[in-house]
């Protein structure tokens, strides 16, 4: 079965062709030009998706060595994301589905991230506990089966990735900032500054706005203008340690509360090496399997959308062709 995945929720256009157990192609075209604006410009993003999607789709089919007639299922991100950007991929998929008379599955981008571990050779086992950390979401999810996903914690303000991006901006390291913060943190040789980790009433929820403000205060109080490179490394390392501590300390609490067979991390921030090594320590200590998606499956990609759509199709969940795009999710994790 050849499954086509299409992703266009933000600043990556991606098209993938997968089968039940093989990735035949997973092409990602990143809209680098947004770096000039310090963030994603929605209108420019939609236009770039429009220009890219058809040639990228043709390339993905070529790489997978299949033709239009070989496509059996078409899956596309329906939300959350930028509405104009989403509509490009979703309508492209609907058009294909209609003309090829092939079923169409709209996919929740966050569920795409959540199930990205299944693209790895070592797959998660149900029930599993996942820390989903991306540019727009920070969620602790208990996944009992393909269709039973329970939110047990989430951020009350900024997402983890957003906090990395904002601190990167404060340090003048540009956008997107996660990778830059990690690189600078790795070069730090100084004793770290202890930035605060929020303690909330609901012990599995997260908050990053206080941490972000304390980094800003530290910069305002200690530097008048340019921050020396060495100090940027120190601040990046101190921030990264505090942010990862906020994530892992809640994860440990959740792991004590729920009996699971495996654990996973997912989303763009799952690419963070410090987070990965802390999660590995937790997994080793609890003698539980940890699944970390490879780098190309952490950020936005269409292979995860194709895979998640396939699982929904397998569960006989059928969607009408007039299914809409949704910029926001219900309860922060479900498509309406
Ligand atoms: N090595 C890294 N360390 C920390 N953060 C990282 C790293 N690499 C990428 N990120 C962060 O991951 C985020 C992008 O992830 P992703 O593409 O999943 O988010 P998104 O699609 O914009 O948001 P969402 O998935 O919530 O809709 C950015 O905030 C980026 O800074
Ligand atoms: Mg994403």
User: Which residue from 77, 85, 161, 301 has its CB within 8 A of the most atoms of ligand 1, so it is best to mutate?
Assistant: 161
271 Cβ neighbours under 8 A, 6+ residues apart = 178, 179, 295, 298, 299
Ligand nearest to the CA of 80: 1
Tokens of 214: 């304390």
Mutate to test the pocket of ligand 1, among 49, 107, 134 (most ligand atoms within 8 A of CB): 134
| Gap between the Cα atoms of 79 and 7, Å rounded | 10
How far apart are alpha carbons 204 and 105 in whole angstroms?
Answer: 32
* 112 Cβ closer than 6 Å to some ligand 1 atom: no
* pLDDT per residue rounded down to tens, the chain (336 residues): 999 999 999 999 999 999 999 999 999 999 999 888 888 999 999 999 999 999 999 999 999 999 999 999 999 999 999 999 999 999 999 999 999 999 999 999 999 999 999 999 999 999 999 999 999 999 999 999 999 999 999 999 999 999 999 999 999 998 889 999 999 999 999 999 999 989 899 999 999 999 999 999 999 999 998 999 999 999 999 999 999 999 999 999 999 999 999 999 999 999 999 999 999 999 999 999 999 999 999 999 999 999 999 999 999 887 899 999 999 999 989 998
Contacts of 130 (CB under 8 A, 6+ apart): 114, 117, 124, 139, 140, 141, 143, 263, 264, 265, 266
Q: Whose CA is nearest to atom 31 of ligand 1?
A: 178
Find out whether the beta carbon of 79 lies less than 6 Å from any atom of ligand 1: no
Domains recognised in the chain with CATH numbers = 2-114+297-314 (3.30.420.40), 123-292 (3.30.420.40)
Whether ligand 1 lies within 6 angstroms of the CB of 300 is answered as yes
């Amino acid at each position: 079965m050849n499954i086509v995945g299409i992703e266009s929720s933000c600043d990556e256009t991606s098209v993938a062709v997968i089968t039940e157990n093989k990735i035949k192609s997973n092409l990602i075209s990143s809209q680098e030009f947004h770096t000039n604006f310090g963030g994603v410009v929605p209108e420019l993003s939609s236009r770039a998706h429009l220009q890219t999607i058809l040639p990228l789709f043709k390339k993905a089919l070529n790489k997978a060595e299949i033709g239009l007639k070989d496509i059996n299922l078409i899956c596309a991100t329906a939300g959350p994301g930028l509405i104009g950007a989403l509509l490009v991929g979703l309508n492209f998929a609907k058009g294909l589905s209609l003309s090829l008379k092939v079923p169409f599955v709209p996919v929740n981008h966050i569920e795409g991230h959540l199930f990205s571990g299944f693209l790895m050779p070592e797959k998660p086992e149900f029930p599993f506990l996942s820390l989903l950390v991306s540019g727009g979401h920070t969620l602790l999810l208990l996944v009992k089966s393909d269709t039973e996903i329970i939110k047990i914690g989430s951020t009350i303000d900024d997402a983890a990735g957003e906090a990395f991006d904002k601190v990167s901006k404060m340090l003048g390291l540009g956008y997107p900032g996660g990778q830059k913060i990690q690189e600078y943190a790795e070069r730090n040789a100084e004793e770290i500054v202890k930035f605060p980790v929020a303690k909330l009433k609901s012990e599995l929820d997260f908050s990053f706005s206080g941490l972000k403000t304390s980094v800003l205060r530290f910069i305002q109080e200690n530097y008048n203008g340019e921050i020396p490179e060495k100090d940027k490394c120190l601040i990046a390392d101190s921030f990264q340690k505090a942010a990862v501590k906020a994530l892992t300390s809640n994860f440990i609490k959740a792991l004590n509360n729920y009996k699971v067979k495996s654990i996973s991390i997912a989303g763009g921030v799952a690419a963070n090496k410090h987070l990965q090594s802390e999660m590995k320590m937790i997994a080793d200590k609890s003698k539980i399997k940890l699944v970390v998606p490879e780098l190309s499956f952490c950020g936005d990609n269409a292979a995860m959308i194709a895979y998640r759509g396939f699982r929904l199709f397998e569960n006989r969940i059928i969607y009408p062709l007039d299914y809409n795009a949704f910029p926001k999710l219900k309860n922060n994790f479900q498509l309406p």
